[in-house]
Structure 1
Amino acid sequence: MIEKRDFSTLGHANHGWLNARHHFSFGGYHDPARMGWGSLRVWNDDEIAPKSGFPTHPHRDMEIITYVRTGAITHRDSLGNEGRTEAGDVQVMSAGTGVAHSEFNLEDEETRLFQIWIIPDEAGGAPRWDAKQFPKGERSGKLEVLASGRDEDILAGALMIRADARLSGATLAKGDSITHRIDPAYAGYLVVSAGSVSVNGVEIGERDAAAITREPEITITALEDAEFLIAETRTH
């Protein structure tokens, strides 16, 4: 089953410096029908104004993945980590027993990013942060695993998360297709970052999502030049 979720139906909060859309219940937005998808708990589509951002605040027991769509984000945390993540690249924070961090757009342009939270397999553990460049050219026409809890993905270069889940991304030229198998024990959640695609014949536009269950194989075809991410998380 593929359930299309239009961008226009997402939760919305505009704080001036932050214009956020919520795929799942978050902050002041609550929809009992959208509390998560498998162990995927949050997918926020954030637009952050220049020279602004999230001041220092705490987290615990959550795997937090940031995918930068345009611009850049600068991270600082209570562990002493600091880093700047640019468009197309990824950072991961395993909150574990607790960490405080800030995320600021120090650029002269708006930053657009996806903030993705996945529930860890177990509570606790030492907090950690990591980031990596993922050149878009290297995932042209194929899925590249960006973050994962699976040993084989981590050995192949994915950022590590403490969850039986993975986040992959791809870019496709108009007319090109990717076929991907999804284990029946997992749910898929696909979000288009740019352009538009069809997923097993269902058209998914820019910033729309496809919530995927009981589809052992999906074929993603670019209706125009496109970029998308897909999270696969365990349902049972």
Structure 2
Amino acid sequence: MIERRPFEKLGKSNHGWLNANFHFSFAEYRNPERIHWGALRVWNNDRIAPQSGFPPHPHRDMEIVTYVIKGAITHQDHLGNQGRTEAGQIQVMSAGNGIQHAEYNMEQDETELFQIWIMPNKQGVPARWETVQFPAEARDGKLVPLASGRGHSGAIPLYADGALYAGTLKAGQTIRQKLDGKPAYLVPAKGKIELVGADGKTVTLDTRDGAAVVDEAEIELKASEDAEIVLVETDKLN
């Protein structure tokens, strides 16, 4: 099953400094049919104005991955962690037993990012934050695991039954991604793709459209134009 979720029909919130679009129920957006997808709980497409951001606020027991599409985000937390994550890179925060953090766009231009929350498979773990400079060229023509609770080599570890993949495709390129029936959710951060299921059904995804996938052994991704793709695959919840 593949369900397209068009960008224009996502939940929306505009605070001036923050223009947010919600793939799942979040903040004032309530949709009982979009609470989670497997262990994936939140996928927000945030655009943050220059010299603004989220002031200090707390989290507990959630794996939070930030994928930066444009610009950069600067993190600081009560544990003393501080760092800047640029476009094409990710940061991972395990909220665990509690963390107080802030996220700011300290750049001169707008920052755009995906904020992705995955429900953890362990409660009360020590809170942590990590970012890694992944080489962009390593993702040319394929999806690469950047954060994973499945032991993928080189990926930032997650306390979750799932993984986040990212990759870039040139127009006309095709790749296949094994899912083994697990729930997956993917969004083209840039460009346009065609998503083909096992039955041959094709779903066209424009920039920022979401696709909820389940019970597919494998999917095929075809780039109609140069594309940057982010995919999260998790286990089904009992």
Letter in 1 for 2:14: N
Q: What is the match of residue 41 of structure 1?
A: 41
- Quote how far apart the aligned CAs of 1:180 are: 1.0
Q: Is the deviation greater in 135-144 or in 9-18? A: 135-144
Contact 1:60–1:97 under 8 Å retained in 2: yes
1:5-54: CA deviations, max 9, x gaps? 00011000001100000000000000001101000000000000000000
Structure 2 residue aligned with 1:216: 217
- Residue type of the alignment partner of 2:215: R
Measured after TM superposition, the shift of residue 140 of structure 1 is 0.5
Tell me the secondary structure at the aligned position of residue 137 of structure 1. helix
1:174 is matched with: 171
How far did residue 83 of structure 1 move?
0.2
TM (norm. structure 2) is 0.96
RMSD after superposition: 0.7
Q: What does 1:83-232 correspond to in 2, within 5 Å?
A: 83-151=83-151, 153=152, 156-184=153-181, 186-200=182-196, 201-232=202-233
Q: Which amino acid aligns with 1:168?
A: Y
Residue aligned with 1:74, SS: strand
Q: Determine the C-alpha separation between the residues in 2 that align with 1:90 and 1:112.
A: 12
Identify the residue that residue 235 of structure 1 maps to in structure 2: 236
In structure 2, C-alpha distance between the alignment counterparts of 1:125 and 1:227, rounded to whole Å: 32
Instruction: State the distance in 2 between where 1:61 and 1:85 align.
Output: 22
CA drift at 1:134: 2.0
Structure 2 counterpart SS, 1:138: helix
Q: Which amino acid aligns with 1:136?
A: A
Aligned residues: 232
Per-residue CA deviations over 1:105-157 (Å, capped at 9, x if unaligned) read: 00000000000000001211100110011232210001110100012x0xx21
Q: Give 1:75 shift.
A: 0.2
Identical aligned residues as a percent: 54
| 2:94 aligned partner, one-letter code | S
Mapped to 1, the partners of 2:228 and 2:103 lie a distance apart of: 24
Q: Which position in structure 2 is the counterpart of 1:11?
A: 11
SS of corresponding position for 2:138: helix
**What is the SS of the residue equivalent to 1:229?**
strand
Q: Is the 8 A contact 1:88 1:133 kept in 2?
A: no
The equivalent of 1:69 in structure 2 is 69
Amino acid across the alignment from 1:174: A
Unaligned runs of 5+ in 1: none
Q: Distance in 1 between matches of 2:17 and 2:183?
A: 33
Tell me the CA shift for residue 215 of structure 1: 1.0
What TM-score do the two structures reach when normalised by structure 1?
0.97
Find the aligned partners of 1:165 and 1:217 in 2 and give their Cα distance: 16
Q: Which consecutive aligned stretches of 4+ in structure 1 deviate over 6 angstroms post-superposition?
A: none
